[in-house]
Amino acid sequence: MAEPTSPDDPFAASPEQLEAGDALFRQPVRFVKGVVGLEHLPTGDRPEITLAGRSNVGKSSLINAVTRHGGLARTSNTPGRTQELNFFSAAQGSFYLVDMPGYGFAKAPKDKVDSWTGLVRDYLRGRPTLARCYLLIDARHGIKAVDAGIMALLDEAAVSYQVVLTKADKLNPFELAEVRAATAQALARHPAAFPHVIATSSDSDVGLEELRASIATVVADHGPR
């Protein structure tokens, strides 16, 4: 049985939660649809879990890693890869996993960036079945102003969210501990933020068990509608 990842942290996953997360993602995951406007959203009949974050932070890679399904969500070195809300049906339809376009990317034409950002913001603040937003932050960069803007939106809309650090493989353990602590401290000022920070690497298989456990807990808390 897997051990809790950080025994000192009261919010760290229990062995039972880790097992539930592992079981949840042993089931097949399939792509359902890509959505460019809120009018095309699937019926809100089950909890939705979404990954948000700046362009290139590693959202699509983390979906592939957590579902153990390389190639499910398209990834790229070039920011702006994901341009729709992509719905994946996970665990035999008990919840949707939603990949989103990134925000904060200034190099694409302005009308495109505005339309992706508008879609992300509208979805985040207006989806009643959104059970948890995982807000991805590049461990090398920490929380930027554009992330703080999204956090304010999530606070205001009272959407439960949790910060996930990505690309942890790029830092040494000391640097990672520092960014974790700084991020946790910043979260204390945000009422809708879950206080525990999960550090991940899709490349090196770090934190994936913990993220699966977290998702399983959220799904169990919300149940199908």
Ligand X SMILES: Nc1nc2c(ncn2[C@@H]2O[C@H](COP(=O)(O)OP(=O)(O)OP(=O)(O)O)[C@@H](O)[C@H]2O)c(=O)[nH]1
Q: Which stretch binds ligand X (CB under 6 A): 2-10, 14-22, 70-78, 122-130?
A: 70-78
- Decide whether 21 or 101 has the Cβ nearer to ligand X: 101
Mark 76-115 with x for binding to ligand X (rule: CB under 6 A) and - for no binding: xx-xxxx------------------xx-------------
Does 47 sit near ligand X (CB under 6 A)?
A: no
Q: Which of 56, 183, 214, 217 binds ligand X (CB under 6 A)?
A: 56
Least CB distance to ligand X at residue 127 (A): 19
Backbone angles phi, psi at 97, to 5 degrees: -105, 130
- Decide whether 90 or 211 has the Cβ nearer to ligand X: 211
With CB cut-offs between 5 and 8 Å by kind, which of Mg ion, ligand X, none does residue 202 bind? Answer: ligand X
DSSP string, the chain: -PPPS-TT-TTSPPHHHHHHHHHHTTS--EEEEEESSGGGPPP--S-EEEEEEBTTSSHHHHHHHHTT-TTSS---SSS----SEEEEEETTTTEEEEE---B---SS-HHHHHHHHHHHHHHHHH-TTEEEEEEEEETTT---HHHHHHHHHHHHHT--EEEEEE-GGGS-HHHHHHHHHHHHHHHTT-TTEEEEEEE-BTTTTBSHHHHHHHHHHHHHHH---
Least CB distance to ligand X at residue 81 (A): 4
Total interface residues for ligand X by CB under 6 A? 24
With CB cut-offs between 5 and 8 Å by kind, which of Mg ion, ligand X, none does residue 79 bind? Answer: ligand X
- Decide whether 201 or 222 has the Cβ nearer to ligand X: 201
Q: Which of 67, 82, 89, 201 binds Mg ion (CB under 5 A)?
A: 82
With CB cut-offs between 5 and 8 Å by kind, which of Mg ion, ligand X, none does residue 46 bind? Answer: none
Q: Which of 50, 60, 86, 89 binds Mg ion (CB under 5 A)?
A: 60
With CB cut-offs between 5 and 8 Å by kind, which of Mg ion, ligand X, none does residue 43 bind? Answer: none
d(CA 144, CA 127): 25
Residue, CB closest to ligand X: 102
Beta strands 48-53 and 193-199 are: unpaired
Instruction: For residue 128, give the nearest of 32, 38, 33 by alpha carbon.
Output: 38
Q: Which residues contact ligand X (rule: CB under 6 A)?
A: 53, 55-61, 75-77, 79-82, 101-102, 166-167, 169-170, 201-203
